[in-house]
Amino acid sequence: MTPEQKDGPLLQIRNLEKRFDVDSGFLESLKFRGGKLRRDTRAVHAVNDISFDVGRGEAVCVVGESGCGKSTVARMVANLLTPSGGSIHYDGQRIDTLRGKALLPIRSKIQMVFQNPYASLNPRMTIGQTLEEPTRYHNPGLGSGEIRDKIAKVMKSVGIDPTWAARYSHELSGGQRQRIAIARALTVDPEFIVADEPISALDVSIQAQVLNLMLEMQEAHDITYLFITHDLSVVEHFGTRVVVLYLGSICEVADTRTLFSAPKHPYTKALLSAVPSLNDDSPSHIRLKGEIPTPIDLPPGCPFQTRCPLANARCRVEKPEPFAQSDGALVACHAVEEGRTDAGMTLQEAV
């Protein structure tokens, strides 16, 4: 399927790359080596050759450890960051190369909700003002009365009384603030919401409120989600498909049910085994030994090799490519491909 096809997936990410230069200035990066002055730039390889799709109405979750590139992917999809390589197509149109005015229609289709409801709302603006700004900007044809009506409607849809429009964000609880952040995303009638850990900073009870709201929005407005989280119980509840990242690369992509019932990549297995469950009081998680390499000095070969119980010589030189399993999962692991999976893992399942 080519990205140009309109009836293809809503979002298509192909060979996406992002590098951040870490050396602060031009002068600092000049090094005298081999009798010559050279410019030596080191880069964080935050996202490396990632490809996946998000279909209409899906809620695709991206999981992985801190620093694995989840937010970087989210920001590139929301067009807040320019990829270093690869492409992003939305509804058949390439969006990562759009600039200036050409971006406007996409900006109203794709909205982003951030992790911290405390930092993402301007404390000097009332809730009404917070919501009015994007509504006006994206609906230049609307009169003041219509804008007020629209804001009231959006506030009601997130369960907040429209009379609260005069309040400031510091008068709200964390859950209420996050609902306002979601309301702000909804003022432009988006089709696609990129949510970067929208509930991580909230209590369980408030997490439930916000997750319910997102489920309701999905049904009422047909919204498609790219949902970033590190909480696997949330993934299991909310996600239709899961993308597991490790150090900027894809380990595994699978339907939620397939991933939880039959994880295949050794990292996915370790991740799932580490989730503390309510019922089972004898912990028996797969303990990963070894250190996590920094994304500046990525080793050649598989990024997981330093902690992988199955790593062998091939893993240290050749980077595994995602390939399809019989149940539809995509897995990037030589051991899985070669069928030498179970022996090593059970050895580690001690304790």
Ligand X SMILES: Nc1ncnc2c1ncn2[C@@H]1O[C@H](COP(=O)(O)OP(=O)(O)OP(=O)(O)O)[C@@H](O)[C@H]1O
Tell me if 249 contacts Mg ion by CB under 5 A: no
Instruction: State the Cα angle at 337 between 88 and 291, rounded to 5°.
Output: 75
Residue 157 token pair: 């849809």
Binds ligand X (CB under 6 A): choice among 72, 79, 130, 209 = 72
The alpha carbon of 345 is separated from its chain's Cα centroid by a whole number of angstroms, namely 28
The H-assigned helical ranges of the chain are: 70-77, 104-109, 127-138, 144-157, 174-186, 204-221, 232-238, 256-261, 266-273, 313-317, 334-338, 342-348
Token digits of residue 86: 């690869």
Taking contact as CB under 6 A, which single stretch among the options 67-75, 93-101, 114-122, 332-340 is the one that binds ligand SF4?
Answer: 332-340
Q: What token pair was written down for 62?
A: 């991206």
Contact status: 61 vs another protein (CB under 8 A): no
- Residue 247 as a binder of ligand SF4 (CB under 6 A): the answer is no
| Contact positions with Mg ion (CB under 5 A) in 58-77 | 71
Among the listed ranges 61-69, 106-114, 266-274, 327-335, the one in contact with ligand X (CB under 6 A) is: 61-69
Per rule CB under 6 A, is residue 315 in the interface with ligand SF4? Answer: yes
Per CB under 6 A, does 245 bind ligand SF4?
no
**Pick 135 or 207: Cβ nearer another protein:** 207
Q: Which partner, ligand SF4, Mg ion, ligand X, none, binds residue 299 by CB below 5 to 8 Å per kind?
A: none
CA-CA distance, 91 to 4, in Å (whole number)? 8
Q: Extract the tokens encoding 24.
A: 């602060």
CB of residue 7 to ligand X, shortest distance in Å: 31
Cβ-based burial of 119 (10 A; exposed 0-12, middle 13-18, buried ≥19): exposed
Token pair of 306 as six digits: 């330093």
What are 47's strand-pairing partners? 18
Binding partner of 46, given ligand SF4, ligand X, another protein, none, CB within 5-8 angstroms per partner class: ligand X
Rule CB under 8 A: which of 281-300 touch another protein?
281, 283, 285, 287-292
Report what 72 binds from another protein, ligand SF4, ligand X, none; CB cut-off 5-8 Å by kind: ligand X
Structure tokens at 42: 């080191």
Q: Which residues pair with 323 in a beta bridge?
A: 331
Give the binding site for ligand X (CB under 6 A). Answer: 20, 22, 44, 46, 64, 66-72, 230, 295
Give the binding site for another protein (CB under 8 A). Answer: 65-66, 173-175, 203-209, 211-212, 215, 230-234, 236-238, 256-257, 270-271, 273-281, 283, 285, 287-292, 351
